[in-house]
Amino acid sequence: MSAQRQSAARRGRVIIGVVTAVVLGAVFFTAFTTVTRMSADGADGKERMAYFADWNTANRGYTIKDFEESGAAARLTRMLWAFGDVNKDGRCHISPDADQPWEIYQRRYKAEDSVDGEADTYEQPLAGSLNQLRKLQKDHPELDVSISLGGWNLSKHMSTAARTEESREEFVSSCIDLWIRGDLPELNDEPQGGEGVAAGIFDGIDLDWEWPGGSGHPDNVEHPDDKRNFTLLVQEFRRQLDELGRETGEEYALSVSMANAPEIIEASYEPEIFEHIDFATVQGYDFTGPWSETTDHHSQLYPPSGHEDDPSGDRAVQQYIEYGVPPEKLVLGFPGFGRGWAGVEPQNFGRFAPAASPAEGDYGEATDSYADLESKEGQRFFDPIHAAYWLYDGDEWWTYDTPEVVEIKGDYVRREGLGGLMMWNLDMDPEGELVEAMDRSLAD
């Protein structure tokens, strides 16, 4: 952390003690002890995961080289690449009409922007971010990478893909051919692409259908059998990935990204699916946001006394354990971003404060990155009892996770015997501070 960032982090930081009283004017700062781990291969049995949002290479200039230079590549066990698209016919594809082909496998990098300091050539069969990732994997062979399919905006046709036995077989086969076998299409008169050009980069598939059974994006195609069909789809992915493994001698991971709301859990998932996956990530964030009229913590680990039914990371985890999921298959997600409200009166430092409107954020309405929030002025409050943190800046109230909060969540993962931690997403933590805290908190 730079001296400027350290100074900003110290200003006005307040700790809420065991009796949850706010001690105004006190200063709280944690000097972390360096912990060295031999490697990021999960030797301590805990996964350290984070999403790479491929669109933010173009939108925010965050590249694979930035990922490596932050130190995050050396600390993660798995990167989750967001997102693979599904077309209207229910097949994995890369659209020629989007920016994705250029950024992920056609863009030729200059030497100064490349992971290994070597410039790309015009005719090479693989360029872009995927080629940079392949270069990075030479120095970090322990880093596994899954392609995450769907997400909030690209789950529209997941129901179509899962609808019948034939559609499931063809969908899974198309995803394995495209992302695992690396058969990239030749598009837009660029020389990149072809059979097997990206083979070996991805060794896992993550299903991020948001959400089977409804409650997802309003444009999603839906069907009454989505819940059951999702189970059958997971089984088909497991079958074909195992078949591929027998062919190649490699192991391929299968995971599912899952909701945190009780009603969505019940409507979306059958307990049977957990027999076929290696792990499930649980969204430990977005418990509240711009859709709420009052401030509240969007990623608290525990709710405060008197509000035990409020959403929290622990509640989400315990719901899945009660649902029959082995704890070691659950990976708790935490945010690299915060949620904010504007028009909050100065006497309101905690939760449930009335707000006039969502705050303006650089990542959309009421959403800003950890890095940007750490650079703001204002009064800062850390609650170690419920693992929550907030910032009051002008009339804006922001809730987000800091390294202190991540450390507590790592302790929770170890205490509960969970599989690890996951962060959304890497470009929001450009200096790798949250990833470092995740790594440190999970180390033996």
Position 413 in a domain: yes
Report which residue type is found at 425: N
- What integer pLDDT is reported at residue 4 of this predicted model? 37
Report which residue type is found at 22: V
C-alpha to C-alpha distance for 444 and 435, rounded to whole angstroms: 16
Q: Which residues make beta-bridge pairs with 396?
A: 393
* Domain interval for residue 246: 46-337+405-442
Position 244 in a domain: yes
- What integer pLDDT is reported at residue 163 of this predicted model? 98
- What integer pLDDT is reported at residue 305 of this predicted model? 84
- What integer pLDDT is reported at residue 263 of this predicted model? 92
- What integer pLDDT is reported at residue 42 of this predicted model? 52
C-alpha to C-alpha distance for 429 and 423, rounded to whole angstroms: 9
User: For residue 82, which phi and psi values (nearest 5 degrees)?
Assistant: -110, 135
- What integer pLDDT is reported at residue 35 of this predicted model? 28
Position 38 in a domain: no
- What integer pLDDT is reported at residue 43 of this predicted model? 58
Position 400 in a domain: no
Q: Which residues make beta-bridge pairs with 332?
A: 282, 421
Q: What is the DSSP string of 355-387?
A: -SEEPEETTEETEEEHHHHHT--SEEEEETTTT
CATH number at residue 90: 3.20.20.80
Q: Smallest Cα–Cα separation from 383: which of 32, 25, 23?
A: 23
Name the 3-class secondary structure at 139: helix
The pTM of this model reads: 0.91
Cα Rg of the chain, angstroms:
22
Position 276 in a domain: yes
Express each pLDDT in 327-348 by its tens digit: 999 999 999 999 999 999 987 7
C-alpha angle 381-387-390 in degrees, rounded to nearest 5:
30
Task: Indicate the Cα dihedral angle 150, 154, 158, 159, nearest 10°.
Answer: 140
Express each pLDDT in 423-444 by its tens digit: 999 999 999 999 999 999 999 7
Position 94 in a domain: yes
Contacts of 221 (CB under 8 A, 6+ apart): 156, 157, 158, 159, 160
Count of domains forming the chain: 1
Tens of pLDDT along the chain (444 residues)? 443 334 334 334 454 443 333 332 223 323 222 222 223 445 578 999 999 999 999 999 999 999 999 999 999 999 999 999 999 999 999 999 888 999 999 999 999 999 999 999 999 999 999 999 999 999 999 999 999 999 999 999 999 999 999 999 999 999 999 999 999 999 999 999 999 999 999 999 999 999 998 889 999 999 999 999 999 999 999 999 999 999 999 999 999 999 999 999 999 999 999 999 999 999 999 999 999 999 999 999 999 888 888 999 999 999 999 999 999 999 999 999 999 999 999 877 678 899 999 999 999 999 999 999 999 999 999 999 999 999 999 999 999 999 999 999 999 999 999 999 999 999 999 999 999 999 999 997
* Strand intervals (E) in 89-246: 92-93, 144-151, 204-209
User: For residue 204, which phi and psi values (nearest 5 degrees)?
Assistant: -160, 160
C-alpha to C-alpha distance for 328 and 142, rounded to whole angstroms: 20
Q: Exposed, middle or buried, 97 (CB in 10 Å: 0-12/13-18/19+)?
A: exposed
C-alpha to C-alpha distance for 410 and 313, rounded to whole angstroms: 12
Contacts of 243 (CB under 8 A, 6+ apart): none
Position 387 in a domain: no
- What integer pLDDT is reported at residue 416 of this predicted model? 97
Position 323 in a domain: yes
